[in-house]
Amino acid sequence: MTLYRHFPSKEALFEGLVTAMCDYMREGLENAPSANVDKPAAKRLADELRALTSALIEPDALALYRLIVADGWRFPDLSRVFDQSGMRIIRRRIAQLLESDGVPANKSRQVAAEVVAMVLGDAYQRALLGIVEEGDSEAFAQQIAAAIAYALSWRA
């Protein structure tokens, strides 16, 4: 019995694979433990952002992102599924954390999106390209520190 018996085409197989990977990613993000509210805001945000970068530079996560970038134009619905199961959840979690620490609700989603972009920065770009450089861990740490300072500057 072959896989094609379960899928009518290569495209359907591709869609099934990507959807399953996105579901797995979404469940992991949605079920991740929330930051400990007893910790200072900067520490909670740092923990969340370190977990984010660690998860996104895993080989499977990088491979899925590369796949979506390469073929998402042919499968726009899969691109939406990817966005809804990954980055959108991450931005929502960060926005909730920021709101709980005084960032206005009408700004928290924007700030969360900017924080994610800052955290990923050049180090993530290199990881996507398959370039590993000495000092990438420090680069992520510096990007996280800059993103935290930016995010907390929005507190009311």
Output the pLDDT for position 83. 85
pLDDT tens digits, 89-129: 889 989 999 999 899 999 999 999 999 999 999 999 999 99
124 vs 14, more confident: 124
Cβ within 8 Å of residue 83, ≥6 positions away: none
Q: Tell me, what DSSP letter sits at residue 4?
A: G
Q: Tell me, what DSSP letter sits at residue 36?
A: P
Report which of 36, 65, 43, 50 is spatially closest to residue 127, judged by C-alpha positions: 65
User: First CA to last CA across the chain, in angstroms?
Assistant: 61
- Least confident piece of the model among 9-13, 37-41, 82-86, 135-139: 9-13
Q: What is the mean pLDDT of the chain?
A: 87
Cβ atoms of residues 53 and 120 within 8 Å: yes
